[in-house]
């Protein structure tokens, strides 16, 4: 009985998520591109995914938060394949070693306006530098602040691409977003109907949108479907932005990273007028 709380803590989905990111961090920061360790630890990612997905809904209570942890742990698995096994990022090269420099290299995107590898040769390499580079490789999917930045990454201002907010303004905006996202998603997670009402609104007969003679397609059901779809996309946006904003707030607030490395996750909604613009 004494060990049960400890066991529950160690088997929590968040712990496996942190372990998965820690493995990627150590591999990218402390192993060579050809190291046998990289493919050897790959099965650990599958173990983390296998342990997290079945337990997320019951241990995280709120479906949106369970969804983002489950989604991120799968993304982290794919990301490990990309940065550790395919592109083979390494600390020594400060980037990928198995692919050519991407088209559209922009020198101003290099961290602190200079070559990190050159600076490291000047003053040596510390454990902390390797650890932070490994963390960057484990968590960055857009490679902001490097010559390998992903195309079409949004800037802080669509009118002035060179604009970078002050640290205080950045932290204030992220704090407001974190609180708003938590409150709205938590409110949306509360059941609006009873199980009996849900059985009627979402029964098998109401699934076809244009099927049958239209007798079952009432105004209430049309409104319900519209609100459900709209609520899904709004909550998805808030969960993604709220989760990432929390991490940005911590790292910028503690002075571990620069504001310019944490550009917005999404571009202006006004530009999402086509499928290509929406996903691009």
* Range scoring the smallest mean pLDDT among 67-71, 155-159, 174-178, 215-219: 215-219
Contact present, 201 and 221 (Cβ < 8 Å) = yes
CA-nearest of 173, 151, 180 to 267 is 151
Q: Across all residues in the chain, what is the average pLDDT?
A: 77
- Output the pLDDT for position 110: 42
If one compares 270 and 4, the residue with the highest pLDDT of the two is 270
Reported pTM: 0.70
- Output the pLDDT for position 188: 72
Give the C-alpha separation, 118 to 124, whole Å.
10
Give the Å distances, CA to CA, from 184 to 50, 170, 171, 242, 248.
30, 21, 20, 11, 20
Contact present, 150 and 116 (Cβ < 8 Å) = no
- The 10s digit of each residue's pLDDT in 237-261 is 888 888 888 888 988 888 888 888 8
pLDDT band for position 172 (cuts 50, 70, 90):
very high
pLDDT band for position 105 (cuts 50, 70, 90):
very low
């Amino acid at each position: 009985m004494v060990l049960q709380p400890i066991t529950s803590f160690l088997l929590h989905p968040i712990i496996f998520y942190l372990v998965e990111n820690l493995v990627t961090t150590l591999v990218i920061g402390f192993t060579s591109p050809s190291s046998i360790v990289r493919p050897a630890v790959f099965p650990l990612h599958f173990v983390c995914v296998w342990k997290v997905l079945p337990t997320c809904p019951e241990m995280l209570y709120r479906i949106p938060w369970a969804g983002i942890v489950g989604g991120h742990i799968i993304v982290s698995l794919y990301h490990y394949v990309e940065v550790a096994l395919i592109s083979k990022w390494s600390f020594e090269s400060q980037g990928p070693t198995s692919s050519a420099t991407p088209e559209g290299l922009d020198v101003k995107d290099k961290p602190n306006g200079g070559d990190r590898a050159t600076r490291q040769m000047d003053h040596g390499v510390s454990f902390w530098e390797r650890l932070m580079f490994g963390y960057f490789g484990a968590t960055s999917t857009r490679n902001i602040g490097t010559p390998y930045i992903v195309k079409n990454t949004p800037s802080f201002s669509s009118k002035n691409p060179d604009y970078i907010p002050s640290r205080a303004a950045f932290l204030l905006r992220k704090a407001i977003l974190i609180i708003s996202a938590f409150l709205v998603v938590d409110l949306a997670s509360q059941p609006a109907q009873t199980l009996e009402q849900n059985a009627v609104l979402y029964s098998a007969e109401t699934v076809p949108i244009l099927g049958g003679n239209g007798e079952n397609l009432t105004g209430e059901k049309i409104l319900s479907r519209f609100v459900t779809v709209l609520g899904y996309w709004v909550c998805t946006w808030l969960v993604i932005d709220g989760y990432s904003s929390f991490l940005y707030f911590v790292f910028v607030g503690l002075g571990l990273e620069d504001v310019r490395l944490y550009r917005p996750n999404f571009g202006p909604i006004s530009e999402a007028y086509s499928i290509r613009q929406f996903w691009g």
